[in-house]
Amino acid sequence: LPAVYSLDGLLVFGLLLVCTCAYLRKVPRLRTWLLSERRGVWGVCHKAAVIGTRLHVAVSVSCLLMAFYILVGK
């Protein structure tokens, strides 16, 4: 439970949300079903998917850096 309130946990959660939503955006049936709404909770998923697809290089580099930090730094 303490990991939920740390900055590390928040960053990992954000990266996982962006990566998962970007992956789900590539599936055609899920894209029309889940990510078509632009308001509310599903709107957050839509915005995360847009961030993940437009900034895929920055997101992948930050995922690698976070993985290295968790495995070696902690």
Q: Which residue segment(s) compose the domain that 19 sits in?
A: 1-71
> What does the pLDDT look like over 1-43, one tens digit per residue?
565 678 888 888 999 999 998 888 888 877 777 767 777 777 8
For the entire predicted model, the pTM comes to 0.79
Tally of domains in the chain: 1
**Cβ–Cβ < 8 Å for 50, 64:** no
Q: What are the distances in angstroms from CA 74 to CA 7, 24, 64?
A: 13, 30, 15
* pLDDT at 1 (0 to 100): 55
